[in-house]
Structure 1
Amino acid sequence: MNSLIQLRHTLHKHPEIAGEESQTAQRILDFFKPLNPDETIEGLGGTGLAFIFKGKNPGKRLLFRCELDALPIEEKGNPSYQSTVSGKAHLCGHDGHMAIICGLGEKLAQVRPESGEVVLLFQPAEETGEGAQAILNDSRFEEVRPDYAFALHNLPGFPLHQVVLRKGTFAAGSTGMRLHFTGKTSHSAHPDAGINPAQALAQLMHQLPQLPKEIPGFSLLTLIHAELGSLAFGTSAGKGSLSMTLRAYDQKDLDLLIEKAQALAKKIASEERLKLEVEFVEKFAVSHNDQELYEVVKVAAEQLRLNAVEKAEPFNWSEDFGLFSQHCPSFLFGLGSGENCPQLHEPTYDFPDELIDTGVKVFEEIVKK
């Protein structure tokens, strides 16, 4: 078994979720030590790592990014290298993405780029939408600020090794939004003596999912959780909350949807005499692909005789890499992980080992370009 597959299996056995990736980072660090990168930056944006390989001549700085974190989900598949951590598993393929970037590191250690620099970035906390922002906020990001940034994601449901491309939006932007309502608790025999958020929640649960109809481009509002009072039959509730995910293909549409949702919540809270607090979690920017880089990746796929397809519509899910596309020309593309591969985040999902070599070759071809 080659060293990259072995590395992936080790990473798969020892998953760490967002913000806890210190052992994973150490394993990556140990892998890179014999490769002698020109510079190593540790603890970037938390547990992040950057390895810099410098070319023979001055030129552009390219960044290739992968993710360190696993998911807080119990693995139900049964590989020989099954997760040893209860309730945590690599069910999104970040173990495979790391192995691919490690493979690119091996290639760069053998042959430095002709010109410029290549930065291999291992980013923490992708799943919570916090990692990219933490990297960008780190003062040492200036040492690796790229001219161009690239990333890939494996895609179940697409033929194995197929390269999936898009110009413009590749994946939607999204944000989690929580509405917290405070009224006044009373005896359930005298609900009129209190202020119960039930009516506000009922109205919002009906009206909020209709808001995307008022947005020009594609958008979606999905209710995910509601809470009202507590299970005390003698009590009329005085508190309630409603949680939702808002997403759109265009950042302006997403901002407009957020604005409309907040305005509706404020209006109904005011009518129902409730205090309202709004909280945002898991923010993901729209992943926007640069037009010129599209040609670079397409040619790379063609040179390797890989089947490259253009996806008609963006993906509805979000990727933390989107934030990099607000700071430099960026490109996120997909690699098919098989038509019968379980979907991402499913308990039986497992990254296909045969994709590691394909990913390394595509990235290597991009470096040459």
Structure 2
Amino acid sequence: MKILVTGGAGFIGSAVIRHIIENTSDLVINLDKLTYAGNLESLKSIDNNRRYAFEQADICNREELDRIFKKYQPDAVMHLAAESHVDRSITGPAEFIQTNIVGTYNLLEAAREYWNTLDLDAKQAFRFHHISTDEVYGDLPHPDEQGENTTGKELPLFTEQTAYAPSSPYSASKASSDHLVRAWLRTYGFPTIITNCSNNYGPYHFPEKLIPLVILNALEGKKLPIYGKGDQIRDWLYVEDHARALYKVVTEGKVGETYNIGGHNEKQNIEVVKTICSILNELVPKKSSYAEQITFVNDRPGHDRRYAIDASKMSDELNWRPVETFETGLRKTVQWYLNNQTWCKNVQDGSYKRERLGELSTQVEGE
């Protein structure tokens, strides 16, 4: 297969490309705008591979998309290009609307026009795989909210039938793009598949996100900021497990289906941070515990309290399960950041100093 991967220089996209090049005989075309979160150093290990090609382009540029489809004639598209940081979407939603909604529309139309030129067999084999997030579902009941009569009962999980209820500009823009993808399937018969994943972590993660930010701040003796009480619950998925799942879906998934991909690892944010501190105490010991650097800050506006994925459809229909537990995956992640300080320095180009993003100066106290 020839697979066009959008956003392939980003965190998840680069993991997908490395997986495909290292474990299959497929060809990959990496289409990436190279924004602050895209870094070709994440693909250094496969950069010279004859089955890999890179095109710097913006999915909002229709002419460039048409050129790339005509030049490479892919058999499938894996669409990962997106603005993805909730905090950035709070203070600057316009880029999220443009990239995640308008960009997805442009890509769908360019791909559909190309698809219409294919012969019948190629048309039937073609796939447009849209990679989305569990955040489109809003949030789930939190254990603290359940009351005495529900003690011991299992809490609900996101399934593929869960209604959409996005909370942030980011998740609203991703929900919008999901709706476009489904509409192109229903209206035009365009062969689409959607996946919604839980929180990813692992190597090559841009340090605006919780786990890499905490690791790097801890090593530099800086504060480890925790929103609210740190009791927000997320389902954590190791990025290389996710990459394997995405390849399973694009090669074996059924057109028109949605697949939820989760790590089966529900953890409170405070627990995640304390576990990182514990691993660092062991690997890079110092006189005091890294946990002493933890500080609590005002919560993010509209912060979802709990996400959790039911990934049984992935295991039942596509025989996929995560390999890493949270403990093994997090230890690998911490060790990777310890071993790759040069990458960490290079990816921070001076415009981002790991400061807090997404705080509203106009927010009413107590709101």
* Band of TM-score, shorter chain: under 0.3
User: TM-score when scaled to structure 2?
Assistant: 0.22
TM-score of the pair, normalised by structure 1: 0.21
Structure holding more helix per residue: 2
- Which structure's CA Rg is the greater one? 1
| Structure showing the higher strand proportion among its residues | 1
Structure with bigger RCO (C-alpha 8 Å, 6+ apart)? 1
